[in-house]
Amino acid sequence: MPDPQLFAMVSPENVNPSSRFSLAEFVEIQPETSFTTRNSFSDENGNPINTGFTSSLTTYSFKAGAETTTVQIVKKMASLSELEQFIAGGYYKEGTAAGFRNLDEYLQTLITKEN
């Protein structure tokens, strides 16, 4: 398995991300179709921190079409109360939206480079 990946969420205002690190540990990889990660909050060195959340499992599946690829993301939390806390804290809406905006911008640079 690949090494765990450490991510930091940094706001557009460049607010200190010290409490916004996330560690993704690869659990399973199915080449060209999907991969699953165990996700947890951590410090800047990848050490787990107590945020009230246990780890979650996230599966990313890809289905190629003629001109597009469909991505399905399924996140499993440890309990309904953790899911509700995750949503209420803005982690899902704001964090996920920011991540997809960054991905969109990056993919756009690839398209621009090819043309």
Query: Does residue 17 surpass a pLDDT of 80?
Result: no
CATH code, 5-114 = 3.30.530.20
Q: How does pLDDT run across 43-82, given as a tens digit for each residue?
A: 888 888 877 778 899 999 999 899 888 999 999 998 998 8
Q: How does pLDDT run across 24-54, given as a tens digit for each residue?
A: 999 999 998 999 999 988 888 888 887 777 8
- pTM of structure: 0.75
What are the residue ranges spanned by the domains of the chain? Answer: 5-114
56-64 sheet: strands from edge to edge: 5-8, 21-30, 34-42, 56-64, 69-76
Conformation bin of residue 19: beta by default, left when phi > 0, alpha when psi is -120 to 50: alpha
2 DSSP assignment: P
Q: Which amino acid is at 35?
A: F
